[in-house]
Structure 1
Amino acid sequence: MLSGFKKFLLRGNVLELAVAVMIGTAFNAIVQSLVKDVFTPMLAAIGGQPRFEDLVLHVGSSPIRYGVFLNAVFSFLIMAAVVYFFVITPYEKLTARFSTPEETTLRECPECLSEIPKAAVRCSHCTAQIAPMTDDSRPAT
């Protein structure tokens, strides 16, 4: 029973997930600090508040701390931008570079313009007789 647990913990995907969570947590702390200590003080200075977190709207006797909410929104936007521009975009470019284009197995029926298999000699939609495909992917004449 203990050996199964050990095998589970030593599987690659569990370790990769643990590392990803730890790096994500550390990265989150960096982004939170960037927003709280750099961006929001600059925005607060423009708005005339010494601390952005001190922005409060009082409704009756209840304070609504919208400055803290705006910090969270800025943190989310910065994290989403970093993930998109530094993870998603490079990954898509890399996969597009190394991927092979898929060979299509369909062609267009010359009579009804519906898609049919390349090897078909009769259209399944309009039942038209169709010339078989040759090796150079063009219909034989």
Structure 2
Amino acid sequence: MSFLKGFKDFLMRGNVIELSIAVIIGTAFTDVVKTVTSSLMQPLINSVGGTHFADGLGFKIITSNDKTFLDFAAVINAAINFVLVAAVVYFLIVTPMKKIQERRRRGEEAGPAEPTDVELLTEIRDLLRQQTAPSAQLPPLRRETE
């Protein structure tokens, strides 16, 4: 059980959640949204342009050159992609994390375990021992009794 608590504490501290959000936006979900918008939304947006635009919603700057086509549907699709990805991330990750943080502030759920002063001092002592020569010995820490 302490293993799961430690893992939960790890997830709740630092920027782990923010990094997870960036990974989600940057990889898997973007491909799904792009496919939906290019396969379903773009044909609908292109239909607004009328039948005389063979390439969709937009126009050619030079009618004889296909590479001069300004594709407004692609720009609208990119905006739709962004809004959909942001909405999913907000409702599936950000909102639940805010609720967990609110519960922790109210004291309903314990927060990440913080190291005690003694644990920090012990860690510092051990690091100092590693940095000093093996012949030099540091005295042990004295604990004051209450």
TM norm structure 2: 0.44
Structure ID, larger Rg? 1
TM norm structure 1: 0.45
The answer to which structure has the higher strand fraction is 1
The answer to which structure has the higher helix fraction is 2
